[in-house]
Each structure stands twice: as structure tokens, then as C-alpha cells.
Amino acid sequence: MKKHITLLALFFASIAGVNAQGIMGGHVTGNIQLDGQISRSDSIIGAQDVPEMLLLNSRADILYTNGNFSAGMRFEAYQNPMLGFNIKYKGAGVANYFAAYNGEKLSVTAGNFYEQFGSGMILRAYEDRYLGLDNSLLGLNVTLRPFDGVTIKALAGKQRYYWEYGDGLVRGIDGEVNFNSIIKSMSDSKLRLTMGAGFVSKYQDDQTIVYPYNPAYKLNLPLNVGAGAVRADLSYGNWGLQAEYAHKGQDPSIMNDYIYREGNALMINATYSQKGLSANIQAKYVDNISFKSVRSESGEMLYINYIPAITKQHTYAFLSMYPYATQTTGEMGLQGDVMYKIKKETLLGGKYGTDIHLNASVITSLDSKRIGGAGTLGYETNGFNPGELYYADASLEVAKKLSSKYKLTCTYGYQIFNPIVEGHPGDLHHNHVVVGDLTWKINKKNVLRFEAEWMGSDSKYSSDVDDKRCGDWIMGLVEYNFTSAWFVSVSDQYAYKDGIGNYYNLSVGYTHGATRFQLGYGKQREGLLCIGGVCRQVPASNGLTFSLTTSF
Amino acid sequence: MKKLKLFALLATVALSFVACDKIEEENGKFVIFAGANGTWYDSDADIPDVQRVFIEKYTGVRCVNCPFADDAIHAASEKYGDALVVAAIHANNNFGKPFGQDPDLRTPKGNIWFDEYIGTTGIPVAMINRNHDDIFVPTSGLDDRIEAIINQESKINMLVTSGRDGDKYYAIVRLGFAQDVTEELTLTLLVIEDKIYTTQLKLGEGEIENYEQNHVLRDIITDAWGIDVYADGKQGTKRMVRLNFELRNDCVPENCHLIAFVSDKVTRRIINSCECELL
């Protein structure tokens, strides 16, 4: 990848050259982010010494735009990668570069690009810098809009693998039709309908993977693996329904223990909304749908697809202490979510109204029977019957503005968590969480926020399992925003019963225009950091962190 | 509606360019044998219980009676189907010498067989299951000889499959001992090619141009007398071996197939044989 720097320099030099002749105008935008960490050992929380003393992740995105034409690059440097980021990121260079034309009927991107078909169940090339995840494709991406309401996408490329590219070649095509646009009689209809279908194929050379039960055999690997999906998005008045079904061919990989069972996934989402009320219910069925461009890659990279999580992404510390990681090998679940605003000037609504948010979800494994291991079909399922409980979560949040200066949010949550989803067996954890969050708007430029949390759990810390989330916890946080530019916050999480650890943090931040600087000192618990069901393991740390972001 | 049809057409055309592979299950597994070249391993695959007949016919392009032997063996092949396994060994300095620019169908290892068993005897001649006490002119008398063998119970069942690994080929030969076998055994693997067109002499017709030569021995992958079989020989034992090889440059892969036979190491009598297409 680093070899492309020269090519890129030539490319930008050519732009500059043409620009100098006055043929091109355009403008350049960008953003820069620098994150640093200094950590020292702490035997209680398990933090290790960092030999380098200072760890730095930095990046700069630069985008040149001129009419329909754009070109960009991203420079990244991990010197060395911060704790929790894969050591394979170590180094610096141009990680991403592209040139694109975006016309009314046609868009073409050459270079690195991100793309998604439908909800991503067969293809989602995306980046999440906080997860250290970037599965961008290097190749060509073409989007055709031959007439209003019809979109066809076609792409081919290889996926980023830290500073290199994976061996697998990804090819895909997707089409979407908006019936309200292409059928005149439906243009003003209350019924809105969009349908789509996509197909993605990956190719990877053959390799020798020894059949574990008899080393004289090797797995007969499919070199081309295909996945297809159909989807529909229907709405009528206040009601909405989205559904997508995906099927994947035989794809033995390290993710499924090299079994040959074909994969399936189904997502259904029904919604209702009106003023002051919105509700949705989601159902998900996932069976052996992990899809990577390299069959032997077990880490966070080289995912071709993405299975959305249907559990609520909590923001409060204890509610998010047990994040749920999507089990692409097999799971099924339901989620319901209701948001209701009690009207102003009512008994419960008071002067400003009251917001109530109720959410519940349950995820189980599939009821399956094992047939064999690698080189076999693996298992068979018993229809849509649920298996072992993986995760259940219910939370009620009530937010009320008490006066023009005070806003109070109270939350109660209950979670059942099966540690098997993180790869280790153990008893279910049953957790009760209570949160109180009070915001005091002192004046226009000064805001003080208090947060208190409690978590009671039936889990107990043991050095054998070493799960530092176990036990009963309390937490307090005070955050002060002043002069609209500065903020300072102090927090502490303490395991007061059956647990271990005392995690205190102090943060100071300053914002000026598009520039923000933040400095923190404290302890970070080891655990999973999950965004949208995709997770990475974060080790414990103890020390200083800082972050600088700016854009131009 | 026109737009919809066009969209559907475009999508169909595009989808036809990308495909996925479907691996067939064999005995509940999706595996291929990948043992070291020439090393014997235990096998658990099913092997058909069939006693086959191997005919080795010695022939030559300048042998005027050989086309009559071809006709007789072709008729026998039609009659006995897969139970008959045929190899045509082109040999002899005089009768096997090619015409003009025709390819030389003689092979060094085929010549070793010819020198060992045929020598100065005229051709066409043949042996069935390498019974060198009964070398005969294969224009008649085939049926009795064949039926005497295929009606026997098989002592060793055989299965050969082939595959390709990059630019090289491999064969996997499986042996299943249906009865106790005490003899030392050897395994021989042949490459056979059909549809080679040469000039051929024929009695009464002279030189026939573009005569279709079938069952032509092109190569012996093992030693001419085979490789040792490592097996205890007890009833129920199943063994297998992988043999890697390169195909001769002048062979057309689509017209080639493999023959494997297992024989008594001392007497060289063939116990059973099998064949498969070259993938």
C-alpha cells in the first residue's frame, strides 16, 4: 500500500499542475485526528506497561472536489498503535486514495471505496476508526441510475488488510427499484415501495487446509463463494415494514470451523410512528452467515458483510458494560422499542411534557444438532426454534424537564448475559441497573451534569475466569461545561461487592471552532468495545489519553 | 413496465458473470485425499465390488491385421461395458514405426512390456489380466476369456479418481480387500489416450489415413512393473495412495483417462483393474 504514495503524489501534482494553468478550480477540505495514550502497569485491573511509553494513532483525510469530480486520500500513522488496536497497524502511510466522478446518471470511483448493498447483509464496506476496522475495497465501483427510481451498482476489488490487501477478490452487483418513481400511478400514493436485490461473489485461490480427523485428506474448498439477498421497504401512512433475506453458498472458513453448511439470514423490521409516539419491532434470524474475503482470517478485518445488531446501543456506562456481539455463526432474536411523549400540561407531562422510552430485546442461539466438525455440514437446525439464551435486555427511560434549568433522566435496565457469546462458558449474569442523570443549565454558557449509576449483579469475580465486570458497582460522574468552550468531568466506577476494580477518570476538553482537544487521566477496564454489534477487545489501561481533532 | 423489464434483463446478465462453486458431499464429508505422493494410507471410502478384466493389446500402425483386433475389442467393449478395461500398447520396431509426421505411439515403458512378453511374436496379440501363458490373437475368443474372469468374485476391489492441482495432475487409487490376500502386490497406473488420428495399414485396404487409434498407452506413471502396495492384505482392509504426475505435452487431456491395476508382484498376474476420466 505504501508503494502507492508515489503514484498518489504524482496524481495530486497533476491536479496542481492543471490547476495552475487555470483549467480547474475546486476546493480542498479535510480533517485531522490525533489520539495518544500513555499507560503504566496496574496489577489490579490488569494493565500492562507500554515499552514505548507513548502510543499514537493519527490520520488526515484530504478531499479535493471540483464539480462532479473528486479525489481524496487518507494518511494514517500508528506509531505505535494504541492499546486494543491490532499491532499489524504499526506503521505509517497512505491507507486510502481514490478518484471519483459523480454524475446524474453515472458515478464511478476508482481506488479505495466504501459501499453497502441493502442493510449490508451481503456487502458492507465501511470504516469505524474506533473499532480499528476498515474493510474498504480497492478497485472499481460503478453506480448507474438509468432512469429515475432505478439504481444499479457494480463493483470489484480487494479488501484492505491493515497495510496490505487480502487475497480474496470481491465482486458484486446490486439493483434497487423505487416503484413510486417508475410507475406514474403510484407517484402520489400513500403506499411507498422500494425493492432491491444483490449478489456478491468472492474468489480466493485454493489452499491446503488439512482435514483434522485424517491428515491424509484436505478440505475440498469452493474457490468462488456467492451470497445473494432480496429486500423490500414498504410504508403506508404511519406504518412501515422493511425485510431482507440473504442466502450464502458453501463457505468453509475459520469463522465457522470450516463447515460446508449454507448460510441464511433474515431481518424484519416493522415500525409505527405518529406525533408523540413511535414504535418498532425487529426480528432477526442468522444462520452461518459470516462472510469474509479470506477464509483463514479470524480477526476484525476482511468482513464482506455486516449483520446489524438489534439490541439497544446503550450510552450509560453500566448498561453498556455488557455489550452484545452479533453471533454470525447463528442466532435469532426479537427487539421491541416504544418512545412516547406524555403531552405538556397533563398530570404526568407537567409543564414540559415527559419522554418515556421502553426497549426490550432477546437473543438466543439456534436450536441445532451437531453433525460433525470441519469438512462436514456442521449442524442442522430445528426450524425457527430458539436454542440457548444469549442475551436479554429490558430498559425503561423516563426523561423530564423539571424547569427551564433542570432536566432529569431516570433509567432502569435489566440484563441477562450469557458469557458464551464472548467465547467462554459460565453462568448467566443477571444485572439490574439504575441510572439518574440530572442536568443543571446554570446559564447560557455554563452547564453542570450529575450522573449516578448502580448495578447489582449475581455474578461474582473469580480469578479463574477473570471477568472484571462481575460484582455490584456504583458510579458517580460530574461534568461541567463552561464558557461554551471548556468542559471538565470527573467520574469513578467502584466494585463495592463481589467485584474488583476502582476506575476513576478525569477529563478536560476545549473546543474552538472546528478544533477540539481533550485530555484524560484514569483507568480503563478491559472488555469489549462494540459498535452496532461489531466488537473489539480493549485491554485494561492506566494513564493519560489525549485527542485532537480539527477540520478545514 | 419497459423499464422494469430492462432492469431485470440487466440484472440477469450481470448475475451470469459471477457464480459460486458447489462442492459435492461424499460420505458426509467435503474433503479430498491429499496424502504424500506414493505413500499409502488407510481409506474409509466406499469401493464398488466389481471384478474387471484388463486386456493389454499389442499393436502397431504398420500391422495390417491390427485393425481387425481393434474391431473385435471394440465389440467386446460394447458388450461388457465398464467391466472391460483396455490398453493398446504400440510396439515393435517394424510394425510400430510411424508414417511420415505421425506421432510415434510407442513408449519406452510399453516397449519394456513388449520385450518381456511378446518379443519376436507377431502382432496383434493380447493378454487378459496378464496371463502370459495365454497370449492370443484378439480377433476371436475374447468372450470366453472375459466371462471366465468377470464371473469370479473380486478379491480386491479398486477405485481410481483423478484431479488437478495447479498444472499437475494426480490420481488417487483405493484398494478394498474383499478377501484375504497373501501375495505381495504392486500397483500400476497408466495414462491412456483415445482419438489419436494416424495412418494405419489394414489388410485389403492399404494405408488408411486418419485412422482413429483408441486406448493408446501414452505413459506409465509408476514403474513399468508398478509400485509396492503396503497393506496387510486382510479382508476388510482399505488402503489408498495418491500419485502425482505431469501429462505429456503431446496428449490431449480431454481424450485421456487413467487405468490402474493391482497385480501379483511375483507372477505379475493382474488381480483387478479400474479406470477413470482425467479431470
DSSP result, B141-208: -HHHHHHHHHTSPPSEEEEEEEEEETTEEEEEEEEEESS---S-EEEEEEEEE--EEEEEEETTTEEE
- Inter-chain touch B22–A249, beta carbons under 8 Å: yes
- Inter-chain touch B22–A377, beta carbons under 8 Å: no
Kindly state whether residues A292 and A336 are assigned to the same domain: no
Among A210, A217, A222, the residue with its CB nearest the CB of B23 is A222
Mean pLDDT of B180-195: 96
Please give the Cα distance from A328 to A309 (Å, whole number).
Answer: 10
Please give the Cα distance from B156 to B239 (Å, whole number).
Answer: 11
B45 in contact with A at a CB cutoff of 8 Å?
no
Instruction: Report which of A36, A112, A119, A156 is spatially closest to residue A521, judged by C-alpha positions.
Output: A36
- Inter-chain touch B28–A371, beta carbons under 8 Å: yes
Q: Which residue has the cell 500500500?
A: A1
Please give the Cα distance from A454 to A447 (Å, whole number).
Answer: 24
Kindly state whether residues A304 and A343 are assigned to the same domain: no
Which grid cell is B127?
493378454
Q: From the CA of A232, how many Å to the nearest CA of chain B?
A: 16
Chain B: residue nearest A207 by CA?
Answer: B165
The residues facing A495 across adjacent strands are: A473
CA angle A100, A138, A20 (to 5 degrees): 35
pLDDT in tens, B134-186: 999 999 999 999 999 999 999 999 999 998 877 889 999 999 999 999 999 99
Among B17, B19, B41, the residue with its CB nearest the CB of A216 is B41
Among A171, A197, A371, the residue with its CB nearest the CB of B11 is A197
Chain B: residue nearest A249 by CA?
Answer: B20
pLDDT of residue B1: 57
Number of Cβ within a 10 Å radius of residue A303: 24
Mean pLDDT of A349-364: 95
CA–CA distances in Å: residue A381 to residues A231, A267, A287, B101? 24, 18, 9, 64
B253 in contact with A at a CB cutoff of 8 Å?
no
- How many contacts does A have with B, using Cβ atoms within 8 A? 99
Q: Is residue A517 part of a domain?
A: no
Q: ipTM of the predicted structure?
A: 0.80
Most confidently modeled range among A20-24, A173-177, B93-97: A173-177
Q: Are strands A486-497 and A354-370 parallel, antiparallel or unpaired?
A: unpaired
- Inter-chain touch B34–A218, beta carbons under 8 Å: yes
pLDDT of residue B158: 97
Q: Which domains does chain B possess?
A: 29-277 (2.60.40.10)
Give me Rg for the CA atoms of chain A. Answer: 25
Instruction: Report which of A254, A260, A200, A208 is spatially closest to residue A224, judged by C-alpha positions.
Output: A200
Please give the Cα distance from A507 to A485 (Å, whole number).
Answer: 14
- Inter-chain touch A250–B35, beta carbons under 8 Å: no
Which grid cell is B19?
457464480
Name residues 182-241 of chain B within 8 A of A (Cβ): 240
Give me Rg for the CA atoms of chain B. Answer: 22
Kindly state whether residues A240 and A122 are assigned to the same domain: yes
Is the predicted pLDDT of residue A143 greater than 80, yes or no? yes
Q: Is residue A3 part of a domain?
A: no
* Pairs from A177-186 (Cβ < 8 Å, separation ≥ 24): A177/A149, A177/A150, A177/B4, A177/B7, A178/A149, A178/A150, A179/A149, A180/A149, A181/A148, A181/A149, A181/A150, A182/A147, A182/A148, A182/A149, A182/A150, A182/B3, A182/B4
Backbone angles phi, psi at A408, to 5 degrees: -120, 135
Which one has a higher pLDDT value, B262 or A529? B262
Among A149, A173, A219, the residue with its CB nearest the CB of B14 is A173
Please give the Cα distance from A304 to A46 (Å, whole number).
Answer: 34
pLDDT of residue A38: 93
Is the predicted pLDDT of residue A1 greater than 60, yes or no? no
Kindly state whether residues A271 and A134 are assigned to the same domain: yes
Residues of chain B above pLDDT 90, percent: 79
Kindly state whether residues A413 and A475 are assigned to the same domain: yes
Query: What is the residue type of A139?
Result: G
Q: Which residue has the cell 488417487?
A: B172
Listed residues A270, A285, A308: the one ending a domain: A308
Quick one: pLDDT band at residue A6, thresholds 50, 70, 90? low
Residue length of chain A:
552
Q: Is residue A522 part of a domain?
A: no
Kindly state whether residues A205 and A319 are assigned to the same domain: no
Q: Is residue A477 part of a domain?
A: yes
B279 in contact with A at a CB cutoff of 8 Å?
no
Is the predicted pLDDT of residue A468 greater than 60, yes or no? yes
CA angle A254, A260, A261 (to 5 degrees): 110
Among B18, B29, B33, the residue with its CB nearest the CB of A216 is B33
Chain A: residue nearest B41 by CA?
Answer: A216
Please give the Cα distance from B161 to B171 (Å, whole number).
Answer: 6
Please give the Cα distance from A291 to A224 (Å, whole number).
Answer: 12
- Inter-chain touch B18–A226, beta carbons under 8 Å: yes
Mean pLDDT of A61-86: 95
pLDDT of residue B12: 60
Listed residues A308, A338, A356: the one ending a domain: A308
Kindly state whether residues A152 and A254 are assigned to the same domain: yes
* Pairs from A424-428 (Cβ < 8 Å, separation ≥ 24): A424/A465, A426/A465, A426/A467, A427/A458, A427/A459, A428/A389
Judge whether A300 and A290 are in contact, CB under 8 Å.
no
- Neighbour-count burial for B259-272, b at 16+ CB within 10 Å, e otherwise: bbbbbeeeebebbb
Judge whether A384 and A368 are in contact, CB under 8 Å.
no
pLDDT in tens, A289-336: 999 999 999 888 999 999 988 999 898 999 999 988 889 889 999 999
Is the predicted pLDDT of residue A189 greater than 50, yes or no? yes
Among B22, B23, B28, the residue with its CB nearest the CB of A372 is B28
Chain B: residue nearest A197 by CA?
Answer: B11
Quick one: pLDDT band at residue A22, thresholds 50, 70, 90? very low
Among A175, A199, A211, the residue with its CB nearest the CB of B31 is A211
B210 sits in which H/E element: strand B206-213
B7 in contact with A at a CB cutoff of 8 Å?
yes
pLDDT in tens, A96-134: 999 999 999 999 999 999 999 999 999 999 999 888 899
Q: Is residue A166 part of a domain?
A: yes
Note if the bond before B124 is cis, omega within 30 degrees: yes
Kindly state whether residues A331 and A289 are assigned to the same domain: no
Kindly state whether residues A478 and A351 are assigned to the same domain: yes
Is the predicted pLDDT of residue A357 greater than 90, yes or no? yes
Please give the Cα distance from B12 to B24 (Å, whole number).
Answer: 26
Quick one: pLDDT band at residue B2, thresholds 50, 70, 90? low
pLDDT of residue B15: 58
Partners of B35 on chain A (C-beta within 8 Å) are 216-217
Q: From the CA of A182, how many Å to the nearest CA of chain B?
A: 8
The residues facing A267 across adjacent strands are: A244, A284
Kindly state whether residues A304 and A332 are assigned to the same domain: no
Q: From the CA of A96, how many Å to the nearest CA of chain B?
A: 27
Which stretches of chain A sit within 8 Å of chain B by CB? 146-147, 149-150, 152, 154, 171-173, 175, 177, 182, 197, 199, 201, 208, 210-211, 214, 216-226, 249-250, 252, 260, 371-372, 375-377
The boundaries of the domain holding residue A150 are: 103-308
Number of Cβ within a 10 Å radius of residue A317: 19
Which among B2, B21, B161, B244 is the top mutation candidate for probing chain A, defined by the most A β-carbons within 10 Å of its own β-carbon? B21
Model pTM above 0.90: no
Among B6, B21, B30, the residue with its CB nearest the CB of A223 is B21
Is the predicted pLDDT of residue A416 greater than 60, yes or no? yes
Q: Is residue A16 part of a domain?
A: no
Partners of B19 on chain A (C-beta within 8 Å) are 201, 224, 226
Mean pLDDT of A143-164: 96
Please give the Cα distance from B171 to B275 (Å, whole number).
Answer: 10
Please give the Cα distance from A204 to A295 (Å, whole number).
Answer: 8
CA–CA distances in Å: residue A75 to residues A163, A175, A197, B221? 11, 33, 35, 56
Kindly state whether residues A267 and A339 are assigned to the same domain: no
pLDDT of residue A347: 85
pLDDT of residue A23: 46
Listed residues A255, A276, A308: the one ending a domain: A308
B167 in contact with A at a CB cutoff of 8 Å?
no
Count up the domains in chain A and report the number.
2
pLDDT in tens, B210-244: 999 999 999 999 999 999 999 999 999 999 999 99
Half-sphere exposure of A51 (CA within 13 A, CB side): 1
Kindly state whether residues A303 and A331 are assigned to the same domain: no
Judge whether A57 and A78 are in contact, CB under 8 Å.
yes
Q: Is residue A42 part of a domain?
A: no
For chain A, the average pLDDT equals: 92
pLDDT in tens, A364-414: 999 999 999 999 999 999 888 999 999 999 999 999 999 999 999 999 999
Which grid cell is A545?
489519553
Judge whether A298 and A254 are in contact, CB under 8 Å.
yes
Q: Is residue A132 part of a domain?
A: yes
Partners of A149 on chain B (C-beta within 8 Å) are 3
Which grid cell is A200?
456478491
B13 in contact with A at a CB cutoff of 8 Å?
no
What is the CATH number for A394? 2.40.160
Please give the Cα distance from A161 to B106 (Å, whole number).
Answer: 54
Partners of A252 on chain B (C-beta within 8 Å) are 30
